[in-house]
Structure formats: C-alpha cells, structure tokens
Structure 1
Amino acid sequence: MTTVKTLLGLPGLRLRPRAGTDLLDRPVTRIYVTELSDPGRYLSAGELVLSGLLWWHAPGDAEPFVAALARAGAAALAASGADSGGIPDDVVDACVRHRIPLLEVPDDLSFSVITEQVVLALAAASDSARKRLQAAAEAPVETLLDRAAAELGLPCWVLSGLGRLIAGTAPLPMPAEDVVRRHAAREPGPLTLVPVEGRHAVPWLIAVGGPLSTAQAELAEEVAGLVGVTRARESRLEVALPEEVCVVGLRTEGSDESRDVLSEWLPDALLLETAGETSYAATARPPSPAGLSIVEPLLRAKRIVCGVSDPGPRDEAAESARYAVAAAARRTGRVAVVPAGDVDVHELLLAGAPDGVRAALRRRVLGPLLAYDAEQHTDLVHTVRVFLECSGSPTRAAKALHVHVNTLRYRIGRAGELLGADLTEFTDQLDVYLALRAGD
C-alpha cells in the first residue's frame, strides 16, 4: 500500500512535510493536479492533490480549497510556493485545521516528474499487493479479507446475495439485507460492491467501505476472484452430522436457486441432492423459518415451498421431508413451510400420491356426486365435506351449514345413495374424506 510517507521516500522528489506529520500513514490511491479555487466536485478519497497554488491571491483563499480536500477525504496536498514566494501561512494553517497533510514541492521540480514517480509507485504497490493476495489464495475467506483490507486501506466484507454476512473486518454500517437490496436495485450507497464470480445461483458480493480508485478497483476484483475460488473449494467439504438429523426439503418454484438457498440459509448443513427445483439438506437441528422470510424478497423464485422432517435416521428423515414438501406445495402463500409433525396422517398419505393418482381417486369415489351437482346445480360435495369434518355429527354439520338437521340428514342420505356408500360408517367416511382431500 502506498502512503503519504511512501511519497516522502521517493528518490528525487525531495518533498518536505509542512503540516500533518502525524497523518503520514494515510493511503494514497492516485494523483490529481488542479488549480481550481474549489475543486470539490472533482476530488476522490485517497487522492494526492498537486497544486501550484495559482488560485491563491490573498489570505482567506485557502479555506474553501482545503475544506474541499477534507470533505472529499484527500490523502494530502503537495504544493509549490505561490509565485515562488513559498507556501502562504494561511494554506499551512488551513491544512492544520482540516487535518490535511501538506507537502512542500521544491520550486525546481516539475509536476510532470512528480506525477510520473507517483504513478509508478502506485503501480508497483498494486502489483505487490496482488502478489501478496495471491500468496494467500489457499487461505480461508477471513484471512483473505484481512489482507484485502490492509492493502486497500478500507474495511471489507463478504456478503451472500441473500443478505447473509459471511465475513468482515469491521462492523457492517447497515444490515446486510439492505446492502444486497440496494445492489439489486442499483441504488447508490456508502459501500462499493464487487460481485464474486462463480456458478452459484445465489451470488456473493465483496463490499468495500468507500469509493475506489482504478488501482483499488482492480485489486478488489482480484479479491473477488480469490474469494470465488475459496467458496467453490469449501462447498465441497463434507459436514459431520450426528446419527439423527433433520432433513430440509426446499423448492424454489420457477428458478434454480433451491440448492444455493439451502447453503445460505443452513451454512452448517450437508447438501444431499437436487432434483429439478427441489433440494434436500441434512442438519443437526430444525431451522428457523424466519430465515426464509428474510431471503424471500431477494429471490427470483415465484414461490418457496419447504418441508422439514422430524429428527431421525437420515434415510427416514429424508422420506419424511419429501412428504412434508409435497404437503407444503398444496398450501397457499408466497412462502409455505410445513414441519412433518404438522402433517396429518391422511395428508401424509395423499402427499405421496402423484397428481394423476389423486385425480383418479377423486373421480372414482366422488364421480357420481360431482356429476349430480353439475346437473342439478346443487352442492352436495360441500355438504358431505362439512359433515365429515364435523366428525359425522348431523347436529354440528347442520349448524355449520345453517340448515335444519332434518334437511342435513336428507342430503347426506341422498349423497350416500349416489356414492353407493354408507356415510355413517367409519370406513366409508374415511374413503370419501380422502377422495375429497385429494382435490386440495
């Protein structure tokens, strides 16, 4: 990293500090030459500002110029004497007041020589920084970030594209989800974001705590590449789990994000398989559904369906998760999460049946009743369902349907005739109820 102190040691420049000698460790990212009285709109953080002070005419002129440097976060001011009369006292005073290191340039030294030397120093530092980063290519993400922050002179973070903070060198100035949302919406923010390349459906991002010069941006790209390699390497590592696990099945309808979502939502889980839009992972403990609510707005998927098994042997838990996913798919809402323990036995049995089998079951058992309702414009199917959901109680069903109990008994009797079933018998009730639920 090139600092103000580095520039003082460059051969042939003979720069002399006049103010801010306690600030010489500030990083320098590039050089900018100006003679504007207020260059604020053109300045960037970390710049060495080079000026012949042609804008200075009288005491007081230094205040707006140096204040602009301070607001922009300039690294230092290198100046030659105004009209060869030396640097005016109010320039020195303004630099002290605004904490801007001031370097005096010898009158016989060309600005082109200074520019050339500084550019070469920045290029050499960038090349050295790249080599130092590459030397840490096999290191964990946390080590790479520490090196990157040291080279860039700025805090760094790695964020998941789903709003998870993976690693960082300082507290993140805002929630990770907000950073990712701003990036997706292309909204400006206080952080510079660099995508981590890779074949993952859910990307990672490098966040740097401030604007970057061209050299810094190139270095950040290098960091992003190294983090991508580390991510790919660590994703292949086997996770040790206990004998009894929970298996989580996740379906991202309309997208291929399910595997990456599980990786981000359950970073300590073992990914088992992916089939189409659905992926499965084994984890030591049941996950919190709140994690999906956070990531849901960030996904391309039209809908998220999730099933969670009870703890058990992996194969048994995996089967339970599959049925829970199938049950969740028949729930409403943008996010549907169903723990296996919440699935009724009849729902569990139906969840394992393909859609074609469910439709055939419904037609075979309920066909005559469905046809009668269509021809007579009645709703005996609904009457039977309410009756069965009221445990076969005519009184409760009549109350729920707002009809007289005798009317209810007549309708149930008529429905039984059409179905060829005795709706007061438990086994017939079970068959009819399963057929009714097969259409849900």
Structure 2
Amino acid sequence: MTTVKTLLALPGLRPHPNTPAALLDRPVTRIYVTELPDPGRYLSAGELVLSGLLWWRTPGDAEPFVAALAAAGAAALAASGADSDGIPDDVVEACARHRIPLLEVPPDLSFAVVTEQVVLALAAAADGARKRLLTAAAEDAPLPVLLERAAVELGAACWVLSAVPRVVAGTAALPGSPAEPVRQFAAAHGRPTAAAGLTVLPVEGRHAVPWLLAVDGPLSASQTELAEELAGLIGLARARSRLPEELPETGTVRAVALRTDGSAEAADVLAELLAETTFTLTGPAPGEAHALVAEDGSWPEDWAAEATAALSTVEPLLTARRLLAGFSDPGPVAEAKGVLEVARHALSVAANREGPVAVVPAADVGVHQLLLAGVSADLRAALRRRLLGPLLDYDAEQHSDLVRTVRVFLECSGSPTKAAKALHIHVNTLRYRIGRAAELLGVDLGDFVAQVDVYLALVAGKDS
C-alpha cells in the first residue's frame, strides 16, 4: 500500500513542518492536479492533490479549497508556493484545521515530473500488492488472514458476505446489516455496485449462493483491480473449504429439510443457511437436501423467522422459483431417522403455502398430520370412504355441505356455539346438521373416540 509517507521518498517532496507525523500514514490511491478554487466535485478519496496555488489571492481563499479536500477524503495536499514567499500561512492554517497533510514541492520541480514519479510508485505498489496477495493464497492462508493482508494493501476494511445474508469474515465490524448490500447487489443484477457506503463485487465460484466482497468506501481504478484479484482468490479459498464433520454419536439434534423449485442446488443453499450452526448434510438429492443440526446452543429461538428473512434476501439472486424449508423439534441422535421424517413432513406443509419462500416448524404440523403422512394415499382414501361414505354420498346427492359442517364442528372442540359462529349459521341449524350427520354415519359425534376417527378420516382426504 502506498501512503503519504511512502511518497516522501521521492526526490523533491517533503512534509511541511506543521504537518503531524501521524497524518502521513494515509493511503494514496492516485494523483490529481488542480488549480480550481473549489475542486470538490472532481475529487475522490485517497487522492494526492497537487496544486501550484494559482487559485489563492487573499487570506480566506484557502478555506473552501482545503475543506473540499477534507470532505472528499483526500490523502494530502502537495503544494508549490503561490509566490516567492512560499506557501501562504492561510493555506497552512486551513490544512491544520482540517487535518490535511501538507507537502511542499520545490518551485523548480516540474509538476509533470512529480506526477510521473507518483504514478510509477503507485503502479509498483499495486504490482507488489498483487504478489503479496497471491503469496498468501498460495500459502493457504485462512480467509480472515487473507482479508487482513488485503485490507492493508487496499487501505480499507474488507468483508466477505454470503448472500444468505451473513458476514463470513471481515477486518472490522460491518456498518449496518449485511442484508442491505446484498439487496442492492441483487438490484444491480449481480454487477459490482456501490451499496451502503461499500463497494461490492461478486466472488468467483459455481456455488448456488453467491459470496460477495465488500470494501469500505469508493475505490480508485488501481484499488478496484486489486479488489477484483482478491475476489478471485476468495473464490478459490471457498472452493477448498469443507463442510463440518459428522455429528457426535450422542446428544440432541434437529433436522432441517430444504427444497428448491428450480435449478439452484438445495444442498448449497442449506449449507449456507446453517453455516453458523454445527451440522451435517444427510443424503442430499437433486432439488432437496436434509441436514442434522447439533443442539449446542447455536440454534436461534425464532429460527423460522430468521430463515424466512435469510431466504427472502437471497432468493432474488438464485434461479429457484421457490425456497421451502421445514424443521423438526429436537430429538436424540439415536432417533435421527424419525427427526428427519418430521422435518420432511414439515417441508410438505411448506409446499402447500403461498409465496416464494415458506419455512414451517414442526410445531405447525399436527400429530395427526404426521401419523397420516406415513399412510399410503390408497389406504387413506379407503379409510375415508369407510368412515365417511354415507356423508359423502349425501352431500353429492343433496348438494349439501355436511362434511364441512362436521369438520368445523370438530375443529371447534365440539362446541355448537363456536361452530355456528364460524359457519355464520344459527346454533339450532348447526345442531340439526350435526344430528343429521350422526344419523348418516351411525356414530355419536359427542363421543371422543368417534370424534377422533371421523376427524382423521376428514383430514385424510385430498382437500385437507
């Protein structure tokens, strides 16, 4: 990384005596020559501004000029005296006030020579930075170490973001939520973009869920080239990463099942979704993946809401038309097969919900649904006909709705008042219909066992 202090090694440049040494560590990204009294609109962060001070006429002229440098984040001002008296005190004081490093350029030193020297120094530094990053990658440096070295070369904080979204690694605390840069990147159709004060670039790779490289602030052309090089190296590091090992043989686990309606690889999406937990994938299939997650305190209390938000953020960047997930309650590792079955049935419930993203916890799946899920469709149809045949036939012949009436009655815990209100009918009408249904079925709909049998037959149908 080229800093103001680095450039002081060039022939002719020297710091003004009033410039604090602490300000000389600022990174320099390029050089900009100007004689405009207010160059603010043309400046970028990290620039070394070179000026002959031809804009300076009287005390007070320095304030807008230096203030513009400070607002843009300029690295330093390199100035040649406006007259034989050297740099005016007005300029010196304004630089001190705005904490802009001030460098002196001898009057006999051509600005063309200074510009050429600075450009060559920046080019040499960029080549060196690339070599150092490549060396770090070749040494299999962990991702946090690679980012730390890149941050030094770029002179800016760096983060790797997963589009789930989450912070994979970073050199500082990310300002704000990772969701915002991901959304803005998606809005830019996957192209490099400025988002929430960051420059965001795609990380190379063939994973379904993309990773992004975010760098603090706008970047110069040379910084952008280095960031693109870094993004490629991060992609290589991701390709070498491994999924967690098998879970212990004892303990408690949850199961998660995820389905993608499209070409997105479900296993990749699920692995990113569970990246901050201890998990193992179990028998992934095209379009669907299953995982067991260790109950080690890393499972959030409201995982359904968090997973829905995460999948909703990443969904615009995927080819999948829908993202569906179901997850189980915790259970012993010894009962992992049953736990997985619960997650799969919760996934089936999610498939019946509307919207591009649906996440269903086991708590949303009734025990009767889980029991019926293990019964073949033919057997369910036979049981439904056996128990409800007379009622089904009566509704078909009379164009009545006794089947629905019975179901609402049972779902209201057998309360005529609640059921009548739910059906928007008089309670006496409700009692008559239930009585007629009981006659047709030959059962007492006030008996608990009969109620269980009839309700299971009702929910076993395709209209359940």
TM-score range, shorter chain: 0.7 to 0.9
Letter in 2 for 1:265: L
Match of 1:14 in 2: 12
Q: Is the 8 Å Cα contact of residues 327 and 348 (structure 1) preserved in structure 2?
A: no
Taking the aligned partners of 2:51 and 2:68, their CA distance within structure 1 comes to 14
Partner in structure 1 of residue 368 of structure 2: 346
Q: 2:327 aligns with which of 307, 311, 315?
A: 307
Query: Which amino acid in structure 1 is aligned with residue 395 of structure 2?
Result: D
Distance (Å, rounded) in 2 between the aligned partners of 1:405 and 1:65: 84
> 2:271 aligned with 1:269, yes or no?
no
Determine if the alignment matches structure 1 residue 196 to structure 2 residue 203: yes
Match of 1:230 among 237, 259, 262: 237
- Give the alignment of 1:329-340 within 5 angstroms: 329-330=351-352, 335-339=358-362
Residue 325, structure 1, aligned to residue 327, structure 2: no
Residue from 167, 170, 173 that aligns with 1:171? 173
SS in 2 for 1:403: helix
What pairs with 1:18-417 in structure 2 (closer than 5 Å)? 18=16, 19-22=18-21, 23-82=23-82, 86-137=86-137, 138-186=140-188, 188-244=195-251, 245-253=253-261, 256=264, 258-267=266-275, 268-285=278-295, 287=300, 288-300=303-315, 302=322, 304-312=324-332, 313=334, 314-330=336-352, 335-339=358-362, 343-353=365-375, 366=388, 369-389=391-411, 402-403=427-428, 407-408=432-433, 410-416=435-441
Q: What amino acid is aligned across from residue 15 of structure 1 in structure 2? A: L
What is the rounded CA distance, in whole Å, between the counterparts of 1:294 and 1:400 in structure 2?
33
Q: Greater CA deviation, 235-244 or 273-282?
A: 235-244
What SS does the corresponding residue of 1:289 show, helix, strand or coil?
helix
Distance (Å, rounded) in 2 between the aligned partners of 1:146 and 1:384 = 67
Change beyond 3 A, Cα 1:74–1:396: closer
Note the aligned Cα RMSD (angstroms): 3.2
Q: 1:150 to 1:396 in 2, by over 3 A?
A: closer
- State the alpha-carbon separation in 2 of the partners of residues 214 and 242 from structure 1: 53
- Consecutive unaligned residues of structure 2, counting only runs of 5 or more, are 189-193, 316-320
- The whole-number CA distance in structure 2 between the counterparts of 1:115 and 1:261 is 50
Q: Measure, in 1, the Cα distance between the counterparts of 2:380 and 2:126.
A: 65
Q: How far is the alpha carbon of 1:398 from its aligned partner?
A: 7.5
SS of the equivalent of 2:233 reads helix
What is the DSSP-based 3-state SS (H/G/I as helix, E as strand, rest coil) of the residue aligned with 1:9? coil
Quote the Cα distance in structure 1 between the aligned partners of 2:126 and 2:38. Answer: 30
- 1:305 is paired with a residue whose SS is strand
3-state SS, counterpart of residue 31 of structure 2: strand
- Cα deviations across residues 68-126 of structure 1 (Å, max 9, x unaligned)? 11111111111222256532232222222221112122223222222222111111111
Number of the residue aligned with 2:191? none
Q: Would the alpha carbon gap of residues 385 and 295 (structure 1) be closer, same or farther in structure 2, given more than 3 Å must change? A: same
Q: Conserved in 2, the CA contact under 8 Å of 1:326 and 1:351?
A: no
Q: TM-score scaled to structure 1, two decimals?
A: 0.86
Is the contact made by 1:394 and 1:408 (CA closer than 8 Å) also made in structure 2?
no
TM-fit CA distance, 1:31: 0.8
My pick for the range that moved more, 373-382 or 81-90, is 81-90
Q: Deviations over 1:237-258 (max 9, x none)?
A: 5354443422211234557364
Distance 2:59 2:444 in 1: 106
Relative to structure 1, the CA distance from residue 214 to residue 353 in structure 2 (aligned partners, 3 Å threshold; closer, same or farther) is farther
- 2:456 aligned partner: 434
- Cα distance between partner residues in 2 of 1:15 and 1:407: 101
The CA distance in 1 between the partners of 2:291 and 2:263, in whole Å, is: 18
Contact 1:388/1:429 (8 A) holds in 2 = yes
Encode CA deviations 1:321-375: one digit per residue, 9 max, x unaligned.
2233234444677534222x66444211222356687667656765664453244
Q: Deviation at 1:295?
A: 1.2
> Per-residue displacement from partner, 1:255-312 (whole Å, max 9, x unpaired)?
7364344323322321223334332111111553342143143142545331225322
Evaluate the alpha carbon distance shift between residue 422 and residue 290 of structure 1 in structure 2; reply closer, same or farther with a 3 A threshold. closer
Contact 1:327 1:347 in 2 (8 A): no
Distance 1:214 1:241, change over 3 A: farther
Q: Which runs of 5+ in 1 are unaligned?
A: none
- Given the superposition, is the C-alpha separation of residues 391 and 212 from structure 1 closer, same or farther in structure 2, using an over 3 Å criterion? closer
What is the CA-CA distance between 1:17 and the residue it aligns to? 1.3
Q: Could you report, residue by residue, the CA deviation over 1:158-208 in whole angstroms, capped at 9, with x for unpaired residues?
A: 222122122222222212223323433457421111221222222222221
Kindly indicate whether the alpha-carbon contact (under 8 Å) linking 2:247 and 2:294 is maintained by their aligned counterparts in 1: no
Identity %: 60
Q: Secondary structure at the match of 2:432?
A: helix
**d(CA) in 1 for partners of 2:214, 2:176:** 12
One-letter code of the match for 1:26? R
**Partners of 1:416 and 1:423 within 8 A in 2:** no
| Inter-CA distance 111–362: structure 2 relative to 1 (3 Å threshold) | farther
Cα–Cα, structure 1 residues 431 and 214, in superposed 2: closer, same or farther, change >3 Å?
A: same
Amino acid at match of 1:403: N
Q: Report SS of the residue matched to 2:282.
A: strand
Q: Which moved more, 1:67-76 or 1:424-433?
A: 424-433
